Structure 1
Amino acid sequence: MSRILGKPCLAVISIISFLSLTACTGSGAVPPSANDGDGGAAGSGTKTVSLSVMTSDRFLELAKQKFEESHPDINIDIKEYAAAPDTGMKGPNTTIITKPDPKNTEKYVSTVGTELMSGKASDIIVMNGLPYKKYADKKLLENISDLMSRDKSFQQSDYYTDILDAMKYKGALYTVPIRFGLNKWLGNQALLANETIDDANWTWQDFKSLASKWLTDRNNDGKPDVYPLGYIEPNALIAMMLGANYAKFVDDAGKKAKFDSPEFIQMLKLAKSMYDEKIIPADNTDNNNVVFNPKSNIMMAMDMYSMPKMFFDGKAAYYNPPSENDGRGASFTTNMPVSINSKSANKKEAWEFVKFLLTDDMQSVRELNGFPVNRNGAKAQAESLKTLGTGEGGGGKGMRLNVNGKELALQPAADQDIAAIMNALDNVKQYAESDLKISDIVSSETGPFFQGQKTAEEAAKTIQNKVSIYLQE
């Protein structure tokens, strides 16, 4: 198996990490419809459990198939609000992960939010972009922690409890991640060989202090020979800086904003100074001429194993991004947080399906397209890397990557590679929380600041006013 890539870009590395996966398939866009309240019987003695998701994928379709085979009295109705875009790439060993269209996301959030408030939402909801704390406060989401504790067949010790705990609100889970991704930077070890970086504790100011000595212009052409950080858009940088620090600016209850605080104003000024002082280039530059590439979101074990081999001439290592959070540990995101509608007439059946998504079997399938929250699933995913290049386990015989004209053969992972991946997962503790509406406000209102049209204080005041209005809705 061979793949040809042009200039490396971590935003599309998922093309590589999913070489061995089955292509995503969707059932096509399905118009959203309300649960009929009586279980939507599709046949004598059966119940129908509805699930709302913006765009379905092969994992959900496979889960539906397998669950219905083992639960003939329950049908799963996947309500897809936007079909996956046609990438033009087909084949049993190709999966392309694309960023969702913001307009589709906004429409999904608005439509499902309205359904929840009107009592007409699906039994199960994939909460991407939806403010789960807001709906939990309105008692519209089931307490999943209670379901877990009452179900003797569900062993919480089989899961990464730090990840589950990180998503709790007021001591309970109202949405559970089915899969997750890690926020990591790739560091250029050729340039960092003599550096000691405490990435478990460093802050953004610590990074900037270190970055100043990496900034060099040996040929005196007015441009740095090496940039401390690869190119990243200002709004993406602010989103990254907020990341696991979200709770510093929006209280845990989601009622009060603190964007006019000295801490946020200082964050804005620090971010802008990194562009002004050329710590971050004005546009894309050669990936080998940066100390850190900030665009990596590690989606699964294959990502973690292959990326360091693909960048900086194979001399790359992972680092935790800087953080202002007092609680340390790697941060994570999830693109499949699942909740159960508290008004559902099928809560028992809905929990059975959510629980099924978390089983060893489903968390071990290649179609998961993310790190499993189930420990046994994570171990199986990592262990599968031992078959790379052997033709076993879907690894693809003779798997080769072509990066910038250089061919790279992925060799089977060694025991120490597997151990490193499992150790990294054990250290994941911080949820990089976000709220779609707040993210849009921050992105929009920081634009004039980065362009020099507003002061940090003015931008922060505008953000504070708009977010406060939104939180009171």
Structure 2
Amino acid sequence: MSKRNIIGRAISVILTCTLCVTTFTGCGGKKLTDEDFANIKKIDKNCIFKQEEFKDILEAGDSVDVLGRNGDKILAVSKTQAGPFKYMSFNPDGSDVNSAEIGGGKDDYIVTGTFDKDGNAYVIYKECKEADGSYGSFLEKIEPTGNIAYKYDFSKEFDEDPFFIRCFAWSDKYGLLCGTMDGVQTFDEKNGLKVLVDRKNMNGMGGILSIDELADNKLFINYFDDSSYEGRFVVADADNNKVDKKLSGFQKHGFYSFFEDEAGNLYAEDDYGIYKCDIEADKLVKLLDFRDASISFDEMNAQAGFVALNEKEIIADTSVGDEQVNSLVKLTKVNPEDVGDKTVITLSGMYVDRDIVKQIMDFNRSSDKYAIKILDYSEFYDDFEQLQKQFNLDITSGKAADIICFSGAESSVRKYADKGTLLDLSAAFENGGPLGDIEILPNIKEMMKYNDKIYTFMPTFDISTFATKSENASGKQTLSYKDCDELITGKGMDYKTAFGSYYTRDQICEYFWMMYGDEFFDLKSKKCNFNTPEFTEFLNFANKFPDEEPVDYVIGDDILDDFAAGKSIFYAANYWDIWEYAETKQLAGDVELVGFPNNLGKNLAALNTTTFAVNSKTENVDVIYDLIRELMTSDKKSDNGFSSVKSKFEEELHEAAVEASDSNKRAKLYDPVSGEWKKINPLTEEDIKKFYDYAVSINTNAGIDMQVSSIVLEEASSFFAGQKTAEQVAEVIQNRVSNYIAENS
């Protein structure tokens, strides 16, 4: 894993509501229109590029840190697997490759960089100190020979602010431009930093993400708002230290990579494609549609970015697979007349996971006749309730795609199965059927059913549960509320600390009731049982947590570290890979997966599944069966969880029975003492069998009914406020949910 990813991991946060529900991050802001529905059913032949890899430029293990151009040469600064950095140049066709070693240590890394008109590179270089593992921060100028022309020490500034300089750009007029919290500043070795465009001219500037010089020497600046974190895009007149124009043609929640061609034309890349920026008209003109071209946007979102030769030829660095293999590629526009016709099959979802998108892109590349087009509602709506409402409305009104993703909304399946919207897949998965040879884990196969018929397929899953050290479990496989209280009291903790320091009573109440499976709310029988002693005990348990956010955010690694060190009693585990379980055991010792506390004597855990259904009116059933097979049996390791296919799941678990390869980044953990990534110890066969048995014993799907969850939270608030007893609240919830079931049956 690159140092860039180490930094990313160190500052990543665990949001308090993501343990048991599918994460939703809205990035839209525009309304889904009839034109969008029309576009999803066709391929835009004007936005197709082919991708060709340069095979002889990077050596095995090399990674590109800075990518640019100088005249007719492509320039790069890369890091070798052994540690030293290289300065590289090559022709746009991949020929005439030249390189010069720069030097550098194995643990050193580059934060950002750019090139000037003479081909010199400027980088923020992080140099690891062998004595204590800390880092010095330097602005270095590197000549094409690999010689370091100067090395300016910014260690003090970066120690005070890790993002002291976020980005670089080169201007023929102003020289080296630096994005800092003071605004856009120029830098030279003699005068240091000097403000060119003051931050005061950029209202609410929380950090500059990129700077690009336009053809008229104006500066295009992308920064984020310090309160909303929304993107801001402006054109600045640097000569007069002012902002000339505020642009609105970009998605405010989108993340863009910007780059220019030699003529000063500006381009933008996001998750969906590459665009030419028409600054005058304040709009983006799409050049490349990643999905129509069957190009994985995850692979395009590599570290160094893009270089445009012109609007038809673009150089990029990519990062592929679990091993994050870096490569350089050329994207070349295909003549629309040369793009073959394909039958389009549509797939829609409230949020379509990136791993699924990658698999679909693989399917599209392998098929000459068919293409799967994706309609992701999160691209159009920021508000989850609005998104969910529109998603369901479109299905009801006959706009359903051929394949529908219900991940995180499994409760909706029953409604559409009853209405005949979904195709019965039972015959396909029976012996002799087109998918009958796929042996699915028994508990997953049951989750795929409704009224004893299979209406969904679930390629992957992960496990949500609670772990505690074996000494705390005392041989028990689940803990009662009394057991938990005695443990917490005995160790002198409060509930917040004991459960990992980041739950509030509202979050416990809103999401964790579903860990009970059909105990309180049975989708299949359309019954509810909230007016029970068990639910009132659940409310009393939730009331022992704080009533407001205990912290602003929680560092993911800190939660596990605190658990391992005995600072908490329970660890909210979300296992999507066997190495995560191995990491828990290595850090914390023997652990027991006890599930959510309860008085029923049951181990209450849940599976988060990727869940799909097929539109009963589709005209492409046979092709969809091929896609289902591809999604469920692909040899590639999913980034989205364990395989639901029995043989693949067993293979995934047994991968951890032997020492991992050096290149397996999933099997490493970060050691803060040495500052290095170390291999996770293999598991024993006994450990693997125990985990397997636990996984297949879980019968609860974490797809939560948000309407019921809202009712539970709304009514429970009166109990938390002392206005009603738990029993009174339980009775009100029972009545309201009963009415909800009746209205939707």
TM norm structure 1: 0.73
Amino acid at match of 1:411: I
1:24-423 superposed matches below 5 A: 31=32, 46-83=342-379, 104-130=383-409, 131-149=412-430, 152-155=433-436, 158-189=439-470, 192=472, 196-199=474-477, 202=478, 206-209=480-483, 211-216=485-490, 228-231=498-501, 232-239=503-510, 241-253=512-524, 255-272=526-543, 274-275=544-545, 287=563, 288-290=565-567, 292-310=569-587, 314-315=588-589, 317-322=591-596, 331-359=605-633, 361=634, 364-385=635-656, 390-392=661-663, 394-395=664-665, 399-402=668-671, 409-411=678-680, 413-416=682-685, 418-423=688-693
Say if 1:295 and 1:9 are closer, same or farther in 2 by CA, change over 3 A: farther
SS at match of 2:401: coil
Query: Residue 442 of structure 1 corresponds to which residue in structure 2?
Result: 712
Give the drift of 1:235: 3.0
Give the drift of 1:270: 4.2
Give the distance between the partners of 2:498 and 2:367, measured in 1 at CA: 54
SS at match of 2:378: coil
8 Å contact kept, 2:659–2:681: yes
Which piece of structure 1 moves more, 143-152 or 415-424? 415-424
Give the drift of 1:132: 1.0
Give the drift of 1:123: 0.8
Say if 1:64 and 1:275 are closer, same or farther in 2 by CA, change over 3 A: closer
Give the drift of 1:106: 2.5
Give the distance between the partners of 1:264 and 1:396, measured in 2 at CA: 39
Give the distance between the partners of 1:289 and 1:325, measured in 2 at CA: 25
8 Å contact kept, 1:135–1:141: yes
1:5-24 superposed matches below 5 A: none
Give the drift of 1:114: 0.8
Give the distance between the partners of 1:119 and 1:149, measured in 2 at CA: 29
SS at match of 1:139: coil
Which piece of structure 1 moves more, 369-378 or 342-351? 342-351
8 Å contact kept, 1:179–1:368: no
For residues 162-196 of structure 1, give each alpha carbon's deviation from its aligned partner in whole angstroms, at most 9, with x where no partner exists: 2221342211222222211112222135x53xx52
Give the distance between the partners of 2:379 and 2:396, measured in 1 at CA: 25
8 Å contact kept, 1:30–1:80: no
Give the drift of 1:317: 1.5
Please tell me the root mean square deviation across aligned C-alpha atoms, in Å: 4.2
Say if 1:187 and 1:266 are closer, same or farther in 2 by CA, change over 3 A: closer
Say if 1:149 and 1:29 are closer, same or farther in 2 by CA, change over 3 A: farther
For residues 191-229 of structure 1, give each alpha carbon's deviation from its aligned partner in whole angstroms, at most 9, with x where no partner exists: 53xx52321xx36xx2423531552377xxxx6699654
SS at match of 2:595: coil
Say if 1:225 and 1:148 are closer, same or farther in 2 by CA, change over 3 A: closer
For residues 343-380 of structure 1, give each alpha carbon's deviation from its aligned partner in whole angstroms, at most 9, with x where no partner exists: 33333333332232111x2xx42343211101232234
Query: Residue 19 of structure 1 corresponds to which residue in structure 2?
Result: none
Query: Residue 196 of structure 2 corresponds to which residue in structure 1?
Result: none
Say if 1:57 and 1:275 are closer, same or farther in 2 by CA, change over 3 A: closer
User: Structure 1 unaligned runs (5+)?
Assistant: 15-25, 85-100
Give the distance between the partners of 1:213 and 1:82, measured in 2 at CA: 42
8 Å contact kept, 2:408–2:608: no
Amino acid at match of 2:645: N
For residues 375-396 of structure 1, give each alpha carbon's deviation from its aligned partner in whole angstroms, at most 9, with x where no partner exists: 232234334446766334x438
Say if 1:114 and 1:163 are closer, same or farther in 2 by CA, change over 3 A: same
Which piece of structure 1 moves more, 64-73 or 419-428? 419-428
Of 730, 733, 745 in structure 2, the residue corresponding to residue 460 of structure 1 is 730
8 Å contact kept, 1:41–1:47: no
Say if 1:261 and 1:358 are closer, same or farther in 2 by CA, change over 3 A: same
SS at match of 2:347: strand
Say if 1:28 and 1:401 are closer, same or farther in 2 by CA, change over 3 A: farther
SS at match of 2:700: strand
SS at match of 2:522: coil
Amino acid at match of 1:119: G
8 Å contact kept, 1:46–1:72: yes
For residues 105-132 of structure 1, give each alpha carbon's deviation from its aligned partner in whole angstroms, at most 9, with x where no partner exists: 3333211211111111111111134311
Give the drift of 1:83: 4.2
Give the drift of 1:335: 4.5
Amino acid at match of 2:700: Q
8 Å contact kept, 2:431–2:437: no
Give the drift of 1:462: 3.6
SS at match of 1:306: helix
Say if 1:31 and 1:151 are closer, same or farther in 2 by CA, change over 3 A: farther
Amino acid at match of 2:724: K
User: Structure 2 unaligned runs (5+)?
Assistant: 19-26, 45-338
Higher helix residue share: 1
8 Å contact kept, 1:388–1:396: no
8 Å contact kept, 1:6–1:404: no
How many residues in Structure 1 have an aligned counterpart in Structure 2?
A: 420
SS at match of 1:434: coil
Give the distance between the partners of 1:431 and 1:298, measured in 2 at CA: 14
Structure whose CA Rg is larger: 2
Give the distance between the partners of 1:174 and 1:109, measured in 2 at CA: 20
Give the distance between the partners of 1:454 and 1:375, measured in 2 at CA: 48
8 Å contact kept, 2:531–2:730: yes
8 Å contact kept, 2:467–2:570: yes
Give the drift of 1:289: 4.4
8 Å contact kept, 2:719–2:725: yes
8 Å contact kept, 2:466–2:570: yes
Higher strand residue share: 2
Give the distance between the partners of 1:370 and 1:409, measured in 2 at CA: 22
Amino acid at match of 2:508: L
Query: Residue 425 of structure 1 corresponds to which residue in structure 2?
Result: 695
Give the distance between the partners of 1:437 and 1:197, measured in 2 at CA: 38
8 Å contact kept, 2:429–2:438: no
TM norm structure 2: 0.49
